[in-house]
Amino acid sequence: MNLGWGLAARVRLGFGTHGAAETDPEFSRMDMITTQIKGRGITDPRVLVAMENVPRHEFVPPDLRSQAYEDDPLPIGHGQTISQPYIVALMTETLALNPQSRVLEIGTGSGYQAAVFGELAREVYSIEIIKPLAKTARQTLERLGYTNVHVRTGDGRQGWPEAAPFDAIAVTCAPDEIPSALPDQLREGGRLVIPVGPANAVQELVLLEKSHDGMKRISLIEVRFVPMTGRTDDS
């Protein structure tokens, strides 16, 4: 798709970018990639293709689908959100996935980040503490054909020990401190990206790289994520 031509054509025909975003998810997705993802320095071609392939509008509530490709997180119910597209792309690029990677995700939410991982990795294991969200995410991922993404309900602080070790771990909710079980489930040479900090405040997005010498910690950017909880929510 030639994005520049598409935008010019819509303007000539009397459609603004807002109108296009509401009526043409493919156009909106390409515009998102150009302005929000590439425009902020994401360069990994595999990540860009994955973001292009995943229909974000399928992972938001129907009444918010016209906003699916905007530069914002969106509510998905139960006090949770789907992350801002740029943050999804940044976390994905930071993990440096390859087609043989095995990924653990803590905080499935709507399933969008898991789908992006599913485009890039061999297997994705995703844990969601809120049962209705886990159920909906599983149904959406199955409907869209992501057979390599496995979702279960549970306390993400404990990880998924029977499927460990993982090449990469992504946490999409913020604990005050990094749960010790997660680095333990990372293989040597693996990467863990996680927001750390208090609820309802600025947090630090952290990258941990595991080697035979221990863990190297790298601070990435300031972020705001929903807090990590430690109990299974049936509501």
Q: Is 101 considered catalytic here?
A: no
Helices (H) and strands (E) in the chain, counts: 8, 9
Write down the catalytic residue from 28, 66, 83, 110: 83
Distance CA 93, CA 87 (A): 10
pLDDT, tens digit (0-9, with 9 covering 90-100), for 51-96:
999 999 999 999 999 999 999 999 999 999 999 999 999 999 999 9
- Going along the chain from its start, the domains and CATH numbers come out as 71-223 (3.40.50.150)
Query: How would you classify residue 111: left for phi > 0, otherwise alpha for psi between -120 and 50, otherwise beta?
Result: left
Contacts of 81 (CB under 8 A, 6+ apart): 73, 74, 75, 109, 226
Residue 23's pLDDT is 59
SS3 58: helix
Per-residue pLDDT of the chain (235 residues; tens, 9 = 90+): 233 333 333 332 333 344 444 458 889 999 999 999 999 999 999 999 999 999 999 999 999 999 999 999 999 999 999 999 999 999 999 999 999 999 999 999 999 999 999 999 999 999 999 999 999 999 999 999 999 999 999 999 999 999 999 999 999 999 999 999 999 999 999 999 999 999 888 999 999 999 999 999 999 999 999 999 875 555 4
Dihedral sign of CA atoms 203, 161, 60, 91 in order? positive
